[in-house]
Amino acid sequence: MFLTSSAKPIDQELRESVDKIERQSPSLSVLAARSFRYRVTQAVVQVTISESRKFNILEEFLLRAGIELQPPPTEDELAAILGLDSIFIRSTTANLQGLNILTAASNYQIQITAQGREFYNIGSLPQEPKTKEIFAIFDPLTENILFDYSPLSNLKIGNIPDLTEAININNIFNFSSVSIEELQQLVKNSNLGLHIPDEGNLVTSCGVVASEILYQKISIFIIFDSIENQIKLEARRGNKIIQDASSVLNRIVGESQVLLQSLFELTDEEIRYQCEEILRHKNVEVENRIENIRKQVRENALLASQKQQSSDSETKNFESGTAVQLRGSKISQELEKILDSANSQILIYSPWISRKVVNNEFIKRLQKLAEKGVWIIIGHGISKSEEAEERPIPPQVEEQLRAIRTREGLPAVQIFWLGGSHAKEVIVDQKVHLLGSNNLLSYRADWRLWDESVYKVTLPEQVKEAYEFYAKRFQAKAKQLWSQAIQNRDTTLATEAICLCGSLSLEESALKIIQQYSWLELYPIWLHMVSQGLRSKQISPSSAYFPVALSLLSQISSDAAYIESVREAWKKVIGRIAYLSQDTALKLVNDSWAEFTYLSITQQSIRSPAQFISKYIMARQ
């Protein structure tokens, strides 16, 4: 039986969080969510910190004299050179000797020690060590040690399950076993400002004063991702995801399914059944759309019969927003016609893709569309995992599709395995929708196949519903690509994410990510992506993100490795904006003229924004 939300093992206090997760990411379904308590070790520790300070002018002069002058001068000689009373020199040398920076010489010469040379090279002096009490917390679930100035509170958690009864974790930790090197790194990572080697602050020792065991609370969610067709555990405190704890839990689950049974009273069979039902339910959504369209077709046919419409009037009625059924060879003919009519976007889902349809002629058709500003998004797959596909996309076909480029050289076709669906659908410019039983990218229908049918729909509500269904799946894929790209600082994945954002009209989201992570190497790629949208007029020249994009020029150096790409990209972008609206282009350039000049986006011979606009305005392409 497919469990409703109320029947799932979800704690009442977590239902709002569950609703939020599923609302924000339609591909995610929460199978269970419960809160647990577990024990952590907290210790009061005393750390010793060695600090240092910058040399003052006199100290630096004394050390420099001891290093560079041969033979080294005496205290009295330095006093005479500087015109100071000898008492000031002797007081300073005595202080430096006490810190083992200088050594006492019988002839009062300035003699620097080996340690003194090291400190001179880094420009600082050691100070008297200090001690400070802080709190060390060992969290066995995250396997981390954290240091803080404030202690954890022993929460009054109430009667909730103890996580340690289901998971064998060691909640006792011996802080004295931590080496000084490990200690220094842990304190540094805790951002307490105690161990900062570059500033001369070093933690040199640590001793435990007292320790205790405390209870903490954590919420664990079992989440099924229908796009990836996988289950994951997510640990949270409030709305914050605890990544380290999530990783530990997923590792344990990977080793044994017993954890899910003991924590949530769900068997492996029950979980598998729930996942299958979720996937089936998502396919039912597609079938329901088809049934609604069949109903509309029947209503149109009845209306046509009643009014005795001619074929010409039928066509007119269809174009105003109806649905018609296609069979046989008309399917392929209409597919080609609709693809060729695209102005900005083509979205396709097909369980299979074959050379029979995606042949050289089809590739040339898509390349021609890409050159006029059209993005193409393709999802494919019917199995629950990509490895389980019996008819995977031929590598040569996928390679040809990925080789289709925009005029700026970006991938114009975004193709992804999504899986778990037998839908066959094409949506063009969010205005025309083809769907039905014919495998549009794997079989070319002809006049003999009257058992195959496709509906051509221009009903705004139905087209919008279909588009939003797939757009959410591709948006989830874009989010996944960004996550992987950011984690590995992978420019190739980031480029793929930017192009997918462009194809889904998410240009602003992509720009925000570039800003957030200061990944300016992606800046010219974003500009090239925007050029494609301007070419198709999908992007408005007055879009609010253009001034934001221009503001990033102040963060770019004139000798950046990617500066030439930035220069050429802005010339094209401004040219395309100027073609659509010269006033808008003039204002954008005028507001950023200083940056255009500094970064040599404009040439020295061009003395005004108006001249720049007139030079780079592009004719309609």
10: three-class secondary structure by DSSP: strand
3-state secondary structure (DSSP) of residue 399: helix
What is the pTM (predicted TM-score) of this model? 0.57
Are 80 and 153 part of one and the same domain?
no
% pLDDT > 90, the chain: 38
How does residue 171 score in pLDDT terms, banded at 50, 70 and 90?
Answer: low
pLDDT at 348 over 50: yes
As a whole number, mean pLDDT of residues 438-462 equals: 68
d(CA 309, CA 302): 11
Distances (CA, A) of 367 to 74, 371, 415, 500: 83, 6, 14, 17
Q: What is the mean pLDDT of residues 295-321?
A: 53
| 94 shares a domain with 199 | no
pLDDT top residue among 424 and 201:
424
Residue 170 domain flag: yes
pLDDT band at 598 (very low <50, low <70, confident <90, very high): very high
Please tell me the predicted confidence (pLDDT) of residue 401: 96
Greater confidence (525 vs 318) lies with 525
Burial (Cβ within 10 Å: 0-12, 13-18, ≥19) of residue 103: middle
Total number of residues shown for the chain:
621
> How many CB atoms are located within 10 Å of the residue 469 CB?
18
**Residue 328 belongs to some domain of the structure:** yes
Which range has the top average pLDDT, 104-108, 250-254, 330-334, 583-587? 583-587
- Terminal Cα-to-Cα distance of the chain (whole angstroms): 57
Which pair of tokens denotes residue 350? 């097909």
Q: Would the pLDDT of 414 be above 80?
A: yes
What is the chain's percent helix, strand, coil content, to nearest 5? Answer: 50, 20, 30
Neighbours of 391 (CB within 10 A): 14
Least confidently predicted of 23-37, 364-378, 450-464, 571-585: 450-464
Predicted pLDDT of residue 498: 97
Q: Please give the pLDDT value at position 599.
A: 94
What are the start-end ranges of the H helices in 442-490? Answer: 460-488
Least confident of 229-243, 369-383, 574-588: 229-243
Query: CA-based angle 312:318:319, to the nearest 5?
Result: 95
- The answer to whether residue 286 scores a pLDDT higher than 70 is no
Determine the Cα–Cα distance for residues 486 and 488; give it in Å rounded to an integer: 5
Above 70 in pLDDT, residue 447? no
pLDDT at residue 437 tops 60: yes
Interval 6-31: pLDDT, tens = 568 899 999 999 988 887 776 688 99
**3 pLDDT higher than 50:** no
- Position 317 scores a pLDDT of 44
The span from the CA of 569 to the CA of 601, in Å, is 9
Helix axes 329-340, 360-371, angle to 10 degrees: 30
Domain identity same for 43 and 61: no
Domain-ending residue, one of 121, 154, 176? 121
Return the pLDDT at 443: 65
Based on the domain organization, do 227 and 209 belong to the same domain? Answer: yes
Sorted by sequence, the CB contacts under 8 Å of residue 557 that are 6+ apart come out as 563
Show which of 266, 287, 307 is a domain's final residue. 266
pLDDT range class, residue 251, cuts 50, 70, 90? confident
More confident position, 591 or 299? 591
Same domain, 149 and 29: yes
Residues 175 and 31 in one domain: yes
Q: Answer with the one of 121, 152, 177 that is the final residue of a domain.
A: 121
Q: What is the pLDDT of residues 62-87, one digit of tens each?
A: 888 888 888 888 888 888 888 888 88
Considering Cα of 189, then 193, then 195, then 196, what sign does the dihedral take? positive
Give the CA-trace dihedral at 542, 548, 551, 556, to 10 degrees. -120
Per-residue model confidence as pLDDT tens digits over 567-594? 999 999 999 999 999 999 999 999 999 9
**Same domain as 343, residue 204:** no
Is the same domain home to 338 and 456?
Answer: yes
Parallel, antiparallel, or unpaired: how do β-strands 230-237 and 323-327 relate?
unpaired
- CB within 8 A of 356, min separation 6: which ones? 442, 443, 444
Local confidence band at 323 (pLDDT 50, 70, 90 cut-offs): confident
Q: Is the Cβ–Cβ distance between 280 and 272 less than 8 Å?
A: no
Q: How confident is the model at residue 528 (pLDDT cuts 50, 70, 90)?
A: very high
CATH code for position 386: 3.30.870.10
Confirm if 500 and 477 have CB atoms less than 8 A apart. yes
Give me the residues paired with residue 268 across strands: none
**What CATH number is associated with residue 75?**
1.10.10.10
Token digits for 157?
A: 């958690």
Full domain range(s) for residue 222: 5-47+130-266
Q: Is residue 278 part of a domain?
A: no
- SS3 state at 182: helix
- Cβ atoms of residues 465 and 323 within 8 Å: no
For residue 445, pLDDT over 60 is answered with no
- The answer to whether residue 460 sits within a structural domain is yes
Instruction: Label residue 556 by pLDDT band (50, 70, 90).
Output: very high
pLDDT of 435 above 70: yes
How confident is the model at residue 308, as a pLDDT? 52
pLDDT of residue 58: 87
**Residue 256: pLDDT over 70:** no
pLDDT the model gives residue 316:
38
Q: Looking at the 3D structure of the chain, how many domains does it have?
A: 4
**Angstrom distance (rounded) from CA 263 to CA 38:** 13
pLDDT level of residue 123 (50, 70, 90 thresholds): confident
Beta pairing, strands 413-417 & 202-225: unpaired
Residue 203 and residue 337 in one domain? no
> Given this model, what pLDDT does residue 71 score?
86
* Tokens 């577990």, located at residue: 38
Q: Which of 26-30, 33-37, 497-501, 551-555 has the lowest mean pLDDT?
A: 26-30
Token code pair at residue 194: 């105690």
Q: What is the pLDDT of residues 196-234, one digit of tens each?
A: 877 777 888 888 888 888 888 899 999 987 655 678 889
Q: Give the residue with greater pLDDT, 330 vs 358.
A: 358
The reported pLDDT for the residue numbered 319 is 44
| Residue 615 pLDDT | 87
In this prediction, residue 295 has a pLDDT band, given cuts at 50, 70 and 90, of low
**308: in domain:** no
Distances (CA, A) of 425 to 135, 370, 379, 436, 591: 59, 20, 10, 7, 45
Reported as type and span, the H/E element at residue 336 is helix 329-340
Rounded Cα distance between 127 and 130, Å, is: 9
The predicted-structure confidence for 125-140, as pLDDT tens digits, reads as follows 777 788 889 998 888 8
71: preceding bond cis by omega (within 30 degrees)? yes
The reply to whether 482 falls in a domain is: no
Cα–Cα distances in angstroms (integers) from residue 62 to residues 54, 96, 260, in the given order: 14, 10, 70
Cβ proximity of 378 and 371 under 8 Å: no
590, 597, 569: which is closest to 613 by C-alpha? 590
Whether residues 103 and 140 share a domain: the answer is: no
Looking at residues 400-410, what average pLDDT do you find?
96
SS in 3 state form for 500-515? HHHHCCCHHHHHHHHH
Whether 40 is covered by a domain: the verdict is yes
Residues 369 and 423 in one domain: yes
Average pLDDT, the chain: 84
Same domain, 136 and 234: yes
Would residue 359 be called left, alpha or beta, if left means φ above 0 and alpha means ψ between -120 and 50 degrees?
beta
In a domain, 493, yes or no: no
